[in-house]
Structure 1
Amino acid sequence: MNRVHKHLKLHHHKHTGKVLHHRHTSYWALVLVVVLAGACMLLTNRMAQAADYVVTAKISAPLPAGAPVITSPADGTVFDSPTVNINGTCPLSTPAILIVIYEGTTALGTAQCTPLGTFSVPVTLHAGTQQLVATVVNITDDVGDSSTPLTLGYTPKQVPTPVTPTTPSTTTPSRPHGQRSTPRGSGEQELEIRSRSPFIVYGPSKPAVWRGSFAGGQPPYTANIAWGDGKTSWLKQVGAEPQEVSHSYTEVKSAYRVTITLRDSGGHEIQMRLLAVSPTTASGTLTPTLNTPLPFSHLLYFLYLLTILVLLGLWALEHRENLRTVPVPVAARKKRAQKNTAAAKRARRR
């Protein structure tokens, strides 16, 4: 029994309530965890930002084979009125194509090819002779074949000069309504509407925007844009600078006929007729894609910063307590020395 007790040693631990030295706290592990969490948050944020980028690609609509044919008016016709309807036949396609009447590179008017394969485009002629062509254009602004050139002429009506009566008169001769008060000088440029595109594209979340400018005549100009839905936009006292006018449709249709009317300071007036078209999916409706950021990103950043602040607070608190207490390694060495002294005394007694 004495042999057993001789090999048994009892250790007594005294609780002092003192905070252990900072070497016993795994701060390196905590720092590593915080760094990894920050890296994960940064990667998540980058992925969310990458999701916000919208990559668009153009998928061209089909272009039918064949060129439009102008059936009226006849080639070489001379008109005394500037407004003329250009009629003809066009190749069928799905979705329906557009027929644009060009004079050189200037678009004079646009119309949609009907399901019967016909078109009618009202245009405004300028004084003199001009060559017009009808060109196929699809909804994605790809240009197809053009018709044979059509030569037309326009000779404005001359306003008769009133004869001064030999006897006094109480009445003054009036000029016809809508006619030009005086003929244009040879050096005056014809009034012109310059549209950047022969048609306007719109959608449920995309307004119709006309971009263009005015030239010739006698500026400043006054213009109005009838959007085809009963609404009209006005431009007053503008010059030759580029213009941009937007309009939001309340209903999505395949096409709206847009009429631009321009009047200069001399009272001269011209019109341009375009189409506002809406590209549709197979079901006939547009489906806009919205990209939204992650909803809890700000909350995650707040919690991350709060964790760092808590960790720094604990580290500061522990070091402050260590300054007020006796270092644990010194106390441990004293206790170890006392144990060794007691053990030596017991050995001498034996």
Structure 2
Amino acid sequence: MQAQSKFNKYFVDSTDHAIDVSGFLNEGFGFLPVPILITEPAVGYGGGLVGVFFHGQQKKRVVVDSTSHLENSKNLPPVLTAVAGAMTENGTWLAMLAHQGSYLNDRLRYTGAVGYVSPNLTFYGGSGLEAGKYEFNMKGFLTFHELLFRPVAKVPLFTGLNYVYFNNEVTFDTKIPEIGSLENDNKLGGMNVVAMWDSRNNTFTPTKGIMSATEFGVFDKALGGDNNYWNFNHRTYFYQPIIKEKLFSGYRLNYAAKWGDSVPFYELPFISLRGIQALRYQDHHALTLETEWRWQFVKRWSVVGFAGAGFTAPKIDEFDVSKGNYAVGGGFRYFIAKQYGLHAGIDVARGPEVWAWYLTVGSNWFR
């Protein structure tokens, strides 16, 4: 009876008696072990484990002016720490420690990670190489840190900096016995100025609001790298409910560009869509458009449908809308943590070349 009582306290919502992990996450006394199921076509099937620690209960933000139309979200983004390890069938593996937090009544946000990664990927040509499949491994120590500050308490505008460093060893498999493998050490060090507007009502599975962020910066030898080039990235996610508590829509725009004389091939922007392998379509400029609709048809269960298009070009004025790459798909969601607005489920997608499926926890548009 005691065990049953604890299970109900941590894993059952008392309002509808459905499975819900909000109670466990709110306790803040240990890590929640979450299995990782990797289905990314670029690295093959795999798995791992992530331990997520939620630092205390979900909290409300103290609103200065409740009449302001800008005060959309009153939930503070959760403070969490995660330890992860994973491996896939093609030999890709990673080990990572990450932290994300909102502090001082959401005036300050920090995201950071340190880890060691070793992905086995395929480069499909471009940037001076003929089209083809070039298999390679990149491995090394990786760290990322971003600090954002909200200047005006009642306006959801954040500004700040982020920094990334990757001590990377790249190895190409030539598939020619006489040559063997080609190896090259290449360090990356870059810093970006960031401006972000975030009026989403939830950071996990938003249903209303806008998240729009722009990054502009430089990768330079003075920042610890071996290459000098410029970086620009803009992403906008817009969420709009269509039928209250039933039908929700989302829209995504992502534009990325890197330019200079020494942009590493693996740093070239690429189309990022469910149903398209990572790094499959790359160039110095990449534009991605996507929409997703979710229908919560019964209690905690939802079905989703999504469609997207991506375009790449060597220069910004050379985009050709007639040569896009498209992907469509659908899936389902279960409302697994009501107090955090967290949905989880499975998606199946079809791109120009392959079928793929994904385990989705929260929003697929995570950054």
TM-score by length of 1: 0.27
Structure number with the higher strand fraction is: 2
Higher RCO (C-alpha 8 Å, min separation 6): 1
> Which entry has the higher C-alpha Rg, 1 or 2?
1
Structure number with the higher helix fraction is: 1
TM-score by length of 2: 0.26
